[in-house]
Chains A and B, each alone.
Chain A
Amino acid sequence: MHIMQLVGFGLSATILATVLRSYAPQFAMLVALLAGILLFTSVIQNISVVLDMLRGLSSSAHIDSGFFSTVLKIIGIAYIVEFAGQVARDAGEGALASKIELAGKISIVILAIPIVNDVVQSLMHLLPQ
């Protein structure tokens, strides 16, 4: 999608949401949520091009593909959690937003554990026994 289309779409959705806010606040939030989802979906397709290039680089540098897929998962989690947290914060639920972000952080840490283990193991090999 062309950038002007994206910007125009986002602005018109914002206008619709503000018009609705005084009449039916629930629907204003739903309009904003739907616009966010649609923008996110159209952007995600462009990201796959970048990821393919990164995957090519990592395979040519003989990096273990397990690490790279973990990094991709972490990026995916970060995207979703940030999106959901912002939507919750827009709806006025600050506490809920921070809980969503907490859940995202914990799942990222869990994903990062094997990588940390590998780093520590390789460090231990370097140290003289």
Chain B
Amino acid sequence: MSPEMRAVFQIFGVGFVVALMNTILRHADKEEFAQWTTLAGVVAVLVVVVGYVDHLYQEITRVFLNTQ
């Protein structure tokens, strides 16, 4: 299990848990809670993905501009 693969599976796990929470909360007719959990999940995942985007950007500037 390479680190990249682990990151992708973690994001998949978060998405799946949020989807489950949505259906559960919807059955308990707490619609607004469902929307809040989805938003929280997306924000958490975005924080992780932005970290990888920053790493990618540094790689590109290092390789193409070799300014580091």
Contacts and interface: CB of A to CB of B under 8 A. Distances in A.
Q: Please say whether chains A and B are actual partners in one complex.
A: yes
Interface of A: 5, 9, 12-13, 16, 19-20, 23-24, 26-28, 30-31, 33-35, 37-38, 40-42, 44-45, 47-48, 51, 69, 72-73, 75-76, 79-80
B11 A34 contact: yes
Main secondary structure of the interface of A (DSSP, over half): helix
B19 to A, nearest CB: 4
Most chain A beta-carbon contacts within 10 A, residue among B8, B9, B46, B52: B8
A73 B19 CA distance: 42
Interface in B17-68: 18-19, 22, 38, 41-42, 45-46, 48-49, 52-53, 55-56, 59-65
Contact of A31 (B4, B15, B41): B15
A45 B56 CA distance: 10
Interface of B: 2, 4-5, 7-9, 11-12, 14-16, 18-19, 22, 38, 41-42, 45-46, 48-49, 52-53, 55-56, 59-65
Main secondary structure of the interface of B (DSSP, over half): helix
Contacts of B65: 69, 72-73, 76
B34 to A, nearest CB: 11
B64 A30 contact: no
Contacts of A34: 7-8, 11, 48-49, 52
